[in-house]
Structure 1
C-alpha cells in the first residue's frame, strides 16, 4: 500500500484545479432577486424562464423573519430581467 500512496496523492492533486469552489465571489442577478436576507439553492427551470430559490429570515416568509427558509419563484420578463419574486 505504501508504494501506491504517491500515485493516489498525485491523482487527487491533479483534480484540485477542477474544484467547484468559487471562493467568496458573489454575483448579483438584479435587484428584484437579491435582498439583504439569506438566499440560496437557486434552480432554473429547464426552459430558463423560471428561477426557484430559498430565502431565509425574510419578512415575507410564512413564519416571518424567524422562518429558516421558504421557496420563492421569479419569472423572466420579456425584457430578459427577473421579475419580483413571489412565494
Structure 2
C-alpha cells in the first residue's frame, strides 16, 4: 500500500479548508462593514450614501482584483507568492 494517495487526500483537504476560510473572511469583511455604516460615516464625516459608495467600491475592488491577482499569482513560484 502506498502513502501517496493518503498524502494527496490530506493536502487536498487542507487546501479546501484554506479556501473555505479565505472565502468566509472575504464575505465577512463585506457584510460586517454594512453593520458599521453609521459609525463609519460619522467618523469620516460623510453622508450615508457616500458611505454606501465606499462599501461598493471595496466590493468592486474585490471582484476585479481577485481574478487579476489569481492570474498573476499562477505564474509565480508558490513559495515566492506566499512570501
Normalization by structure 2: what TM-score?
0.25
Normalization by structure 1: what TM-score?
0.24
Higher helix share: 2
